[in-house]
Structure 1
Amino acid sequence: MYGPDKDTLFPLAHHKKLCFLKNLVNHPGIEVGDYTYYDDLEDVQNFMRNVKYHFDFTGDKLKIGKFCMIASGVSFIMNGANHLTDAISTYPFAIFGNGWEDAMEDKVYPYKGDTVIGNDVWVGHNATITAGIKIGDGAIIATNTTVVNDVEPYSIVGGNPAKLIRYRFPQEKIDELLKLKWWDWDISKITQNLTLLTGNDLTKISSISE
């Protein structure tokens, strides 16, 4: 066998609070890679509720890579939450109409682009990811962190706002891992190399040929 079925919703028998996320989401603006899971203390349907202000008219996407781990309570704040910040008032007058509909004439709300989570990213309990953020492969987002700036690959960040705690590996090893892209291997190859992937011998894992 080569691991669990990536196309099943609940990969753990008799446990309905962890799901393979791509099989749960049904929103055209959300893309999720294989084997990425969401673990919720109450109900996995909470994931969709926690992608907030994701309105069709904003056109932004939430893109999550493969083999990510997303804990309970993680929130994604999308571009629909943005208000004017360089105006005298941040109040969204125009949405209420009744004589206020022209308030945004010749103006646009801030737009920060797609929110992109790389591969093999661990997002801890109750973390918040704001609109347009890019989180690199292999990064770790600590519990209760609020991410307002991009996160580098294989870094660990925490706090509000998020600050760099440390890098997981030396830069030369990070470069090797980013080139290796183990998450794109065939699942049989991943299965055959599980002991290396769960170890810390970077020399051995980096030496594996395609």
Structure 2
Amino acid sequence: MHQNLYHHWSETKYLKDIVTNPLIEVGDYSYFSGYYDHQSFEDGCVRYHWGDDHSRALFDPQAEFGWQLDRLIIGRYVCIASGVVILMGGNHNHHPDWISAYPFPE
């Protein structure tokens, strides 16, 4: 169960103050509210994005498989509401010329 990081629906947090993933770049004054989902921005809003502490501990797709890593770039003055989901591309490790979307390492 996630700890509620927000105490009221009107409470927001600047993304620059809470984002820890080095592959997420955030402009000044962009903010987020996770009150209704009771999750942090990186765990509740951004999906399929390598680079958080947990995924870095599991494996390094760039070193192990040569994957190009996705970057999420959020501009200045962006408001992201509770419940928004940003689906990342999975680091472009799928071969578009193959019939399978399975991420074969070689």
Please say whether Structure 1 and Structure 2 have the same fold, judged by a TM-score greater than 0.5.
yes
Where do 5+ consecutive residues of structure 2 fail to align?
1-6, 52-61, 63-67
Equivalent in 53, 60, 64 of residue 48 of structure 2 = 53
Where do 5+ consecutive residues of structure 1 fail to align?
1-13, 96-103, 105-210
- Give TM-score, length-normalised by structure 2: 0.60
- For 2:89, the equivalent position in structure 1 comes to 79
The range that moved more, 81-90 or 55-64, is 81-90
Task: Kindly tell me the number of residue pairs found equivalent between the two proteins.
Answer: 82
Between Structure 1 and Structure 2, the one with more strand by share is 1
Is 1:27 the counterpart of 2:37? The answer is: no
- For 1:67, the equivalent position in structure 2 comes to 77
Q: Tell me how far apart the structure 2 counterparts of residues 34 and 88 of structure 1 sit (CA, whole Å).
A: 42
Distance 1:60 1:68, change over 3 A: same
Are 1:18 and 1:44, in contact at CA under 8 Å, matched by a contact in 2?
no
4+ runs deviating over 6 angstroms: none
Distance 1:89 1:44, change over 3 A: closer
Are 2:46 and 2:85, in contact at CA under 8 Å, matched by a contact in 1?
yes
Q: Tell me how far apart the structure 2 counterparts of residues 19 and 81 of structure 1 sit (CA, whole Å).
A: 27
Is 1:89 the counterpart of 2:77? The answer is: no
Q: Tell me how far apart the structure 2 counterparts of residues 44 and 20 of structure 1 sit (CA, whole Å).
A: 15
Q: Tell me how far apart the structure 2 counterparts of residues 88 and 59 of structure 1 sit (CA, whole Å).
A: 22
- Give TM-score, length-normalised by structure 1: 0.33
- CA RMSD, aligned part only? 2.6
Q: Tell me how far apart the structure 1 counterparts of residues 8 and 26 of structure 2 sit (CA, whole Å).
A: 21
Higher relative contact order, structure no. (Cα contacts within 8 Å, ≥ 6 residues apart): 2
The Cα shift of 1:71 comes to 1.1
Alpha-carbon displacement from aligned partner over 1:39-73 (angstroms, at most 9, x marks no partner): 2223351x101322222533221111111111112
Q: Tell me how far apart the structure 1 counterparts of residues 83 and 37 of structure 2 sit (CA, whole Å).
A: 10
Distance 1:76 1:42, change over 3 A: closer
Are 1:32 and 1:63, in contact at CA under 8 Å, matched by a contact in 2?
yes
The Cα shift of 1:84 comes to 2.8
Alignment of 1:110-125 (within 5 A): none
